[in-house]
Structure 1
């Protein structure tokens, strides 16, 4: 089962492609996405100094059917957006490949990670080509029961192993998130984010492997 990471050129004609090109320092985090043939719905976290001006800019686009502000706090906001131009997600929907979320978009570049079959990954590449969406493959790794360590970057492994060694996963816990961050000399938020992503990769891998064994 391959674990792949792709960098996607977000089409300029989509709302998120255009807005991210207009504001290259702006970071979008797609928390969840539900694509369809004619519409796409996504939960998007927005990080910027002035979220309201960006929200207004997004709302005024012709391809935005509905925008709901779910919450806003200082330089962050969470939006639920329905768009009539789900071009970015159509290749994913048509190829039947589940994306690992959240994924980030900045300056018209999206980073996608996925674990799927070789045939579906090949189908995704074909769909991206057919829609004229540029992409580059960062890596494709074969993940088996004895290869779980390949799921994680070196940084994720470092943080995860440090947390385990210091008793973060013991019950009751022998170390807090702050203790782990202090040991690694990183911010609490950074430590939390890296751990969350590492745990997410491992959980997705475990579920996929379990389902593969059950089906086999």
Structure 2
């Protein structure tokens, strides 16, 4: 059974595609989502220096029915969003492929990971083509492959290695989070978000490989 990672070009006709392309530093983390042909509901974690203007932009979209602010703290907000245009998730729904959650959408691109049969993976690729969504297959590998080989996205690896090289993890620290963000040319909130999730993946992998076993 294959495990695959795909980079999806989210159409700008969809609210999240247009907003993420307009604000490339923003990170939309889709924590969970359900979709049909004409409706989609998702919990979305938004990382931004000031989430409120972005929330206002989301509410102004014609394809967004409701936006509920579940909580907000500094540069993070958790939203429940109902849309009438769930286009990016329609191929997943049609192909019957379980999508690993959470997944990120940034700068108009989503990173998807799926584990399914080869037949359903092929059906998913056809379904993406049918609705005109561009995609790139980053890799397809057997599910038995080492988890370390698919532990981090390229973005997470870039941010993590930059932080290590800058001395962010040395004691005492030789670089602040803001300085790491400056090296990458991204917002501090974005850097914190990506780094936090990369650290989480590494810690969980270490425990599974070296403690639980």
Same fold (TM over 0.5): yes
Partner of 2:22: 22
Distance (whole Å) between structure 1 residues aligned to residue 23 and residue 95 of structure 2: 31
How big is each residue's C-alpha offset from its partner over 1:47-68, in whole Å with a ceiling of 9 and x where there is no partner? 1112111101100111111110
Contact 2:152–2:201 (8 Å) recurs in 1:
no
Deviation at 1:35, TM superposition (A): 1.1
1:193 pairs with 2:197 = yes
Distance (whole Å) between structure 2 residues aligned to residue 134 and residue 39 of structure 1: 21
The alpha-carbon distance between structure 1 residues 84 and 107, as it changes in their structure 2 partners (threshold 3 A), is same
The number of equivalent residue pairs is: 177
Partner of 1:152: 151
Partner of 1:139: 139
TM-score (norm. length: structure 1): 0.72
After TM superposition, the structure 1 = structure 2 runs for residues 1-216 of structure 1, keeping only pairs within 5 Å, are: 1-144=1-144, 147-153=146-152, 193-197=197-201, 199=204
Unaligned runs of 5+ in 2: 157-168, 178-191, 209-213
The alpha-carbon distance between structure 1 residues 20 and 192, as it changes in their structure 2 partners (threshold 3 A), is closer
Deviation at 1:194, TM superposition (A): 2.8
Please tell me whether Structure 1 or Structure 2 has the larger radius of gyration of its CA atoms: 1
Deviation at 1:193, TM superposition (A): 2.5
Partner of 1:213: none
Contact 1:32–1:44 (8 Å) recurs in 2:
yes
TM-score (norm. length: structure 2): 0.73
Superposition CA RMSD, Å: 2.8
